[in-house]
Amino acid sequence: MIKGFINSTKKRGIPLNWRSLKSFTASYSQMGEDIYLSYLFGPTKNSGMYIDVGCYDPIQYSNTYLLYLRGWRGIAIDPNPRFKKKWKKHRPNDLFINEGISNHEQDLYLAEHNLYPAMNKLCNSDIITQVDKSNGFNVSQKIETRKLDTLINDNNIDSFDLLSIDCEGMDLDALKSINLSNHSPSVICIEDRESPLQGQLHDHLVNYDYIFSAAIGISRIYVHKSF
């Protein structure tokens, strides 16, 4: 039984001795984005602020939990109200806001995936039929959305260090809801299915003086030229 546990632990990459433990870094995000983000900010920046749009779970697949453990704090935004209690329990020092983010303040519908809740997304009435039960989704409720700029101003945020956006296809729309001339986080991590250095999202960020830094899975990481 113990031998089986050790073999299983080895396969998962968990360190079993002091030497390997010293070089071990835990990752909570889907593809290790959090390790790269932590590296960008350096080992001494143990306080900072993030805004996590489409935050999902407070720990699983989170791009910001590793920073939270380092002492960072911020705002987490997700249209699914089911995550509110989990955020309050596991990350009580963050502010969880149950809303959707869009470049146009409107009512959208929350489509929840039956097997993979990380795939939950917002959709408008025109495409509800495309995300029906046959595709594994249930359209559960109407969600109010607002611009990220509005949310930032309503919460009296002057500046923040990291913007993480994971909105399952609405990433560019969410990004355009913030005026990057007025609010310029040092680092932006955002999903984009275009090839690196191509597409509307890349062009949009370049126009606001952001420089491409890394592609990790479908996440793209940009740093502001002043960083």
pLDDT, one tens digit per residue, over 45-102 is 999 999 999 999 999 999 999 999 999 999 999 988 888 999 999 999 999 999 989 8
End-to-end CA gap in the chain: 51
Q: With bands split at pLDDT 50, 70 and 90, how would you rate the model's confidence at 171?
A: very high
Structural domains in the chain, CATH included, are 30-221 (3.40.50)
Report the pLDDT value the prediction gives residue 6, as an integer from 0 to 100: 45
Tokens 């969880």 correspond to what residue? 96
Amino acid identity for residue 153 in this structure: N
pTM of the predicted protein model? 0.83
| Residue 22 confidence (pLDDT) | 59
Q: Residue 10 is encoded by which pair of tokens? A: 């080895």
Helix (H) or strand (E) segment spanning residue 184:
none
Nearest 5°: phi and psi at 205?
-70, -40
Angle at 46 between CA 99 and CA 27, to 5 degrees: 65
Q: Compute the distance between CA of residue 1 and CA of residue 46 in angstroms, rounded to an integer.
A: 41
Long-range Cβ pairs for the range 71-76 (8 Å, 24+):
71/46, 71/47, 72/46, 72/47, 72/48, 72/161, 73/47, 73/49, 74/49, 74/50, 74/160, 74/162, 75/50, 75/51, 75/151, 75/155, 75/157, 76/52
β-strand partners of 141: 110
Contact 106, 145 (CB under 8 A): yes
Can you give the pLDDT at residue 11? 45
SS3 120: coil
| 111-143: pLDDT as tens digits | 666 556 556 666 565 555 555 555 666 666 777
